[in-house]
Amino acid sequence: MTAARLDPRRPDLPPKRLWTRVGTVANCAHVFYELAAGVGMPLASRVGPAPSAALFGGGTLLLVRAAGRQPRSRDPVFAVANAMFLSAVLAHLAAWPRTRVAGLPWLTECEGLSGRLMPPYNLVLYTSGVAAIGGLVETGRDRPWRAAAIGTAVPVVLVPWLGRLQHEEHHRLRAEARRRPRWWNRRLGRP
């Protein structure tokens, strides 16, 4: 399918990639929710909370902007990003304690979060996952087989690795919270 067939009135316009943009923002909301709740965010145990927040915030802005401006020929790049977002969600759902709500896996605790913090966290994760799937569909309009291959291969590789990585990061953040109890990851310092 050509760009002209997607929008015969304006074939010169890049695709909007709405689902990719929503998924990017939802993925960022997920890691910033962890930071705001006092448990950390990816890379924070290695580089600190401020550089990690700057990396995720800046990366989100760049990807959201690029998703709405790049031509359809760049769809494979956005398909990989969507597959990575989906992988992060699946890794959380596979690696942390869960129950079932309406037949779906529902995290009961994750990376130091529990109790009343879990319903919003689960909703952010599911929003990210649904948007990632929508992003894979929208980036596969020209070549659905390619998006399906990326959407399958990337999670198969990343989910087990990300599950281990999440637990390793959590252990490092807990150790840091014990060493520096007034540090930013206050929730992890609790017994």
What three-state secondary structure class fits 181?
coil
| pLDDT tens, residue by residue, 1-44 | 444 445 545 556 678 899 999 999 999 999 999 988 888 788 88
Of residues 39, 54, 44, 18, the one with CA closest to residue 130: 18
d(CA 86, CA 80): 10
- Which residue spans within 3-157 are E strands per DSSP? 98-101, 104-107, 109-110, 113-114
53 three-class SS: helix
Domain extent listing, the chain: 16-189
- What type of residue sits at position 125? L
Full-model pTM = 0.86
Other beta carbons within 10 angstroms of residue 74's beta carbon come to 16
Q: Write the CA distances from 41 to 45, 104, 140, integer angstroms.
A: 8, 25, 31
Answer yes or no: are the C-beta atoms of 107 and 118 closer than 8 Å: yes
Residue 60: which pLDDT band, with cuts at 50, 70 and 90?
Answer: very high
Task: Please tell me the distance from the alpha carbon of residue 161 to that of residue 165, in angstroms, as a whole number.
Answer: 6
Which position has the token pair 């070549």? 143
Residue 172 is predicted with a pLDDT of: 86
pLDDT tens digit string along 115-174? Answer: 999 999 999 999 999 999 999 999 988 788 888 888 889 999 999 999 999 999 888 888
> Taking Cα atoms as reference points, which of 71, 79, 85, 88 lies closest to residue 16?
71
Q: Which two tokens stand for residue 181?
A: 């109890």
Q: Which of 77, 79, 71, 75 is nearest to 11 (CA)?
A: 71
